[in-house]
Structure 1
Amino acid sequence: MVHWGFIGCGAVTEKKSGPAFSKVEGSDVVAVMRRDGQKAEDYARRHGIGKWYDNADDLIHDPAVNAVYVATPPGSHLEYAVAAMRAGKPVYLEKPMAASYEECLQINRISQETGVPCFVAYYRRTLPYFLRVKQLIDDGLLGDISTVQIRFAIPPYKEDYNRESLPWRLKKEIAGAGYFYDLASHQLDLLDYLFGEITDVSGFTNNVAGLYEVEDSLAAAFRFNSGMVGSGSWSFVAPQNSRTDLIDITGTKGSLTFSTFDFSPIQLGTAGGIQEFREENPENIQYYLVESIVNYLNGYGAIPVSTAISATRANWVMDRILGKII
């Protein structure tokens, strides 16, 4: 039985992830932690969890906790992951894995030294929508893949205009970068899952609107280990009431278009015309990945598809695009 402790119990844990840990067979949540103890207590009471803490070390060293879910901003992932693994407790980290590629390497090193596994919440690898995309590619319906292109543009959130109280995702010391780190990490990890490792990448960044210090516009070109090439563009200052969330795959026999966040119908274009595919998400969107991790930790499942090793590659690509590493 996997008895989870949550470090961080904010918005992401309310529906997207938290309930899944109790719904999955062989798993429960025995404690939660938040620096604001009153908020931790409120979360615990509302979700029927017996213990709450305002100190992470107390939760990590609680003998009733044998696995730790870290649902805090990326800037604290390294600290909490290392402490949990040194205590012998497997870790499930929210994405992105850490605030930099170098911090990911440190987490992997401790995991290897201690023999304690670490997983990362790139749950799209387990969702029926993206498994359908993978199936269509693997079935050869596109022929030989020539290119893949990410196109993403959203307008600023209203909070982005308040320089005195910006969202944590726009604070580099907490988030690692801006919205790019938070959102593009899903897209780049997904491409890694579909096509394998990206081994060469270059990028450009800009701050067009000047609403905050981190980048708001980016473009990149990349090449996979197979030799296939791709590109991406991201804007977080698009016009109001406009949104682009598309990944386009072009092959010698057909094309495929789908979204990362909107879950718009998957469109397959071939000589026979255009087909659309729709898939339903689970109520708690991280359910299938959490289930696979629980099964693995309980000794009767395969290695989950999103590990700290695979997640590190997304950080490497992002840090290359951002110019954080050469």
Structure 2
Amino acid sequence: MKKFQDSEVRWGIIGVGNVCEVKSAPAMNLVPNSRLIAVMRRNEKKVKDYARRHHVPNWYTDAQALIEDPKVNAIYIATPPHLHLHYTRLAAEAGKPVYVEKPMARTYTECQEMIEICDKANVPLYVAYYRRALPHFVKIKDLIEKGAIGNIRTVHIQMRQEPEPEIIAQLENNWRVNPQIAGGGYFYDLASHQIDLLQFFLGKITDAYGFQTNQAGLYEAEDTVVGSFAFENGAVGTGNWSFASAQENQIDQIIIDGSLGQIRFETFGKGEFYLKKDRAEEAYFRFDLPPHIQQPLIALIVEDLLGKSACPSTGESASWTNWVLEKLTQQKIF
């Protein structure tokens, strides 16, 4: 990749929706050598309001105009997945680094095309799998690599959620359960974080197989997925995801079993996890999470662009998460 020429990353955002209110965009002004200077949304009233509330000096209703702004030297694509490939192409053609929301795209094929586009333009491509930079997950990775629970044997994911009434009531505006926009349903939206995180911990998943079904019939996308997968290090895993469960059955849990112990945690909960080793009492670890949850990853992206560090979430790593998602949903049952 060509060397980033500036000493400061000046961000322009395409698509300032909900994710940009707290999770991501405000952090861009808190990270050293980073500023948010331009935002884009097609709705003029909404983009002007966002710029006013967040003190962003420039706003646009046209993405190309934002990309061509000479003051902007990095692009954050915070749109739904069906637009990621298109805007990545425009940003890369302008020679500007790309940071794109997750999942990286609707399909693995689209992910590959995004990588090829950025490689050809010689610009870096990052993806918002920000859990790779959160302190409790960094600690879990460190413990695994240091052998705290021995050789990894199995991984088990359990995730069950009830259909949220307020979301079901507004299905026409809920792109997350529209496969033409999102690639899938809540499985793509949420399980993508889990699959990516496990590959951060344990290395690449080399094989996966699963079934998807729509049991509640509330929307077009799958609402239930079960599957199994194997890692390059020899560990094997299973996953069970239901987004049509009863309230009392809700769970968010991943268990990593090793030859010497076990680590247990929630993906979407607090910054905490449990470690049990041999027959000792279970140890509890807790870390404070930042108010703007993407800030640690954005800081690593800025450092990567400035040549000071390396970002752990790239187009290459994120694309393989899409590959796994497709494998786990390859068989439809009704």
Change in CA separation of 1:3 and 1:163 when aligned onto 2, cut-off 3 Å: closer
Report the residue type matching 1:111 in the other structure: C
Equivalent residue, structure 1, for 2:5? none
* SS of match in other structure, 2:172: coil
- CA–CA distance in structure 1, aligned partners of residues 315 and 219 of structure 2: 30
* SS of match in other structure, 1:155: coil
Are 2:229 and 1:188 aligned? no
- Return the offset for 1:297: 1.4
Change in CA separation of 1:53 and 1:125 when aligned onto 2, cut-off 3 Å: same
Are 2:61 and 1:60 aligned? no
- Return the offset for 1:242: 4.1
- Return the offset for 1:131: 1.2
Equivalent residue, structure 1, for 2:4? none
- CA–CA distance in structure 1, aligned partners of residues 105 and 272 of structure 2: 32
* SS of match in other structure, 1:238: coil
Identity of aligned residues (%): 46
What stretches of structure 1 of length at least 5 have no aligned partner?
none
- Return the offset for 1:276: 0.7
TM-score calculated relative to the size of structure 1 = 0.96
Check whether the contact 1:163–1:211 (CA below 8 A) recurs between aligned residues: no
- CA–CA distance in structure 2, aligned partners of residues 238 and 205 of structure 1: 15
Of residues 46-55 and 264-273 in structure 1, the stretch that sits farther from structure 2 once superposed is 264-273
- CA–CA distance in structure 1, aligned partners of residues 188 and 201 of structure 2: 20
Are 2:298 and 1:290 aligned? yes
Equivalent residue, structure 2, for 1:69? 76
After superposition, the C-alpha distances for 1:60-99 in whole angstroms (9 at most, x for unaligned) are 1111111000001011000001110110000000111111
What stretches of structure 2 of length at least 5 have no aligned partner?
1-7
* SS of match in other structure, 2:28: helix
* SS of match in other structure, 1:284: coil
- Return the offset for 1:14: 0.8
Check whether the contact 1:203–1:321 (CA below 8 A) recurs between aligned residues: yes
- Return the offset for 1:150: 0.7
Counterpart of 1:304 (choices 308, 311, 318) is: 311
TM-score calculated relative to the size of structure 2 = 0.94
Check whether the contact 2:271–2:288 (CA below 8 A) recurs between aligned residues: no
- Return the offset for 1:241: 4.7
Check whether the contact 1:129–1:263 (CA below 8 A) recurs between aligned residues: no
* Superposition misfits of 4+ residues, deviation over 6 angstroms: none
Counterpart of 1:167 (choices 163, 170, 174) is: 174
Report the residue type matching 1:102 in the other structure: T
Equivalent residue, structure 1, for 2:32? 25
Are 2:110 and 1:103 aligned? yes
Check whether the contact 1:160–1:212 (CA below 8 A) recurs between aligned residues: no
Check whether the contact 1:159–1:166 (CA below 8 A) recurs between aligned residues: no
Report the residue type matching 1:149 in the other structure: H
- Return the offset for 1:167: 1.0
Report the residue type matching 1:59 in the other structure: L
- CA–CA distance in structure 1, aligned partners of residues 99 and 107 of structure 2: 17
> RMSD of aligned C-alpha atoms?
1.5
Equivalent residue, structure 2, for 1:87? 94
- CA–CA distance in structure 2, aligned partners of residues 15 and 264 of structure 1: 17
- Return the offset for 1:227: 1.6
Are 2:322 and 1:322 aligned? no
